[in-house]
Structure 1
Amino acid sequence: MRKPLTIIAVIIVILVIGGGAAQYLMRNDSGPLGGLGDDKSDQTEATEAAPEVPSQPEWCPAYEFISAPGTWESAPDDDPLNPQANSRSFMLSITNPLKETFTEDQVRVWTLPYTAQFKSVQSQQEMSYDDSRNEGRAKLEAELQWLHGECPQTQFILAGFSQGAVIVGDIADEIGGGTGVIPAESVAGVVAIADGRRENGVGINPGVDLGGIGAEIALQPVTGLVQLVVPGASMRGARPNDFGALADRTYQICAPSDSICDAPHNIGNAAERALELIDANGIHAIYASNDNVIPGTTTNQWVVGWASDIINQG
Structure 2
Amino acid sequence: MPKFLLFLALLAVGAIILVVVLVITLLKPGPPPISRPPESSTTEPSRRPEAQSADCPDVLTLVIPGTWESSADDDPYHPTANPQSLMLRVSSALADEFPTSRTSVYTVPYVAQFRNPTNLTDTQRDYNYSRTQGYKRAAGEIISTNKKCPLTRYVIMGFSQGAVIAGDLASNIGNGRGVLDPSDVDLVLGVGLIADGRREPGEQNDIGPSPSGVGAEIALSGISGLVPGITMTGPRNGGFGELSDRVQSICAPGDLICDAPTIANPVAAVGQLAGAIDNPVHALYATPRYWSFDGSTATEWMYGWASSVIDNAPRPEHY
Identify whether the pair has TM-score above 0.5, normalized to the shorter chain: yes
> Contact conserved, 1:63 with 1:154, CA < 8 A, in 2?
yes
CA distance in 1, matches of 2:231, 2:288: 29
- TM-score between both structures, scaled by the size of structure 1: 0.80
2:205 alignment partner, SS class:
coil
**CA deviation vs aligned residue, 1:194-228 (integer Å, no higher than 9, x gap):** 11100011111012131210011111113345x2x
Pair 83,250 (structure 1): closer, same or farther in 2 beyond 3 Å: same
Residue 77 of structure 2 aligns with which residue? 81
CA distance in 1, matches of 2:47, 2:134: 34
> Contact conserved, 2:67 with 2:162, CA < 8 A, in 1?
yes
**CA deviation vs aligned residue, 1:135-188 (integer Å, no higher than 9, x gap):** 111111110011111111110000001111111111110100011211311100
Pairwise CA RMSD of aligned residues? 1.7
Residues 1-314 of structure 1 aligned to structure 2 (within 5 Å): 16-17=39-40, 51=46, 53-54=48-49, 55-121=51-117, 122=119, 123-182=121-180, 183-225=184-226, 227=227, 231-264=228-261, 266-279=262-275, 280-295=278-293, 296-314=295-313
CA distance in 2, matches of 1:114, 1:162: 14
Pair 291,105 (structure 1): closer, same or farther in 2 beyond 3 Å: farther
Residue type at the aligned position of 2:248:
Y
Q: Percent identity?
A: 42
CA distance in 2, matches of 1:150, 1:112: 19
For structure 2, the 5+ residue unaligned runs are: 1-37, 314-319
> Contact conserved, 1:291 with 1:297, CA < 8 A, in 2?
no
Pair 292,120 (structure 1): closer, same or farther in 2 beyond 3 Å: closer
- TM-score between both structures, scaled by the size of structure 2: 0.79
> Contact conserved, 1:66 with 1:109, CA < 8 A, in 2?
yes
CA distance in 1, matches of 2:249, 2:87: 15
1:158 alignment partner, SS class:
strand
Structure number with higher helix proportion:
2
Pair 52,272 (structure 1): closer, same or farther in 2 beyond 3 Å: closer
> Contact conserved, 2:67 with 2:160, CA < 8 A, in 1?
yes
2:208 alignment partner, SS class:
coil
CA distance in 2, matches of 1:193, 1:16: 40
